[in-house]
């Protein structure tokens, strides 16, 4: 959708939205901008769904280089890594990225722990908590420049 605002006089503006024109004064334009900003800000504070948060974190992991993945795995809670592995079990690329940056011993331990800990699925609350802590750990590493 195209939106344009054109000053057409001393205190006159034409707002075009999708081919529809509206002529307003400066005060109406300011009110329009305030109302629009208020609604946009309210939408920005809406909580992202668990799927969105997980997908965002998965994209971040997939884009990270091996060194960063190794550092994250080194400081992350083992339980959080297990939850991430379980949540990503259908994503071969993600699993390869994570397992490829673990030692053989760590990988074997994770695989055994997954079999023991999560026979079925992981509760959403547990996934959300793990993703949050892993994101915080990744942010901490980024701030440190590693």
pLDDT along the chain (146 residues), means of 10: 86 87 90 82 66 86 93 95 90 94 95 85 89 93 83
pLDDT at 19: 80
Quote the pLDDT of residue 70. 96
Q: Match 């980024």 to its residue by tokens.
A: 142
Residue ranges of the domains in the chain? 3-44, 50-143
Cβ burial of 126 (10 Å; 0-12, 13-18, 19+) is middle
> Would you state the pLDDT for residue 17?
85
What's the confidence (pLDDT) of residue 68?
Answer: 93
CA distance 23 to 25: 7
The CA-atom distances, in angstroms, between 118 and each of 57, 87, 100 are: 21, 10, 21
Instruction: Give me the CATH topology for the region 50-143.
Output: Annexin V; domain 1 (1.10.220)
> How is 78-103 classified by DSSP, letter by letter?
HHHHHHHHHHTTT-HHHHHHHHTTS-
Which pair of structure tokens corresponds to residue 138? 């990744």
How far, CA to CA in Å, does 63 sit from each of 59, 76, 97? 6, 18, 10
């Amino acid at each position: 959708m195209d939106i344009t605002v054109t000053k057409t006089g001393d205190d006159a503006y034409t707002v075009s939205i999708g081919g529809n024109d509206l002529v307003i004064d400066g005060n109406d334009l300011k009110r329009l901008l305030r109302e629009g900003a208020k609604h946009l800000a309210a939408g920005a504070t809406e909580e992202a769904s668990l799927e969105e948060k997980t997908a965002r974190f998965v994209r971040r992991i997939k884009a990270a280089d091996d060194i960063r993945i190794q550092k994250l795995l080194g400081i992350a809670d083992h339980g959080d890594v297990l939850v991430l592995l379980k949540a990503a079990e259908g994503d071969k690329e993600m699993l390869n990225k994570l397992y490829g940056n673990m030692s053989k011993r760590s990988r074997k331990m994770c695989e055994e722990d997954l079999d023991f800990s999560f026979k079925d699925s992981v509760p959403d609350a547990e996934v959300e908590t793990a993703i949050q802590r892993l994101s915080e750990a990744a942010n901490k590493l980024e701030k440190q420049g590693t």
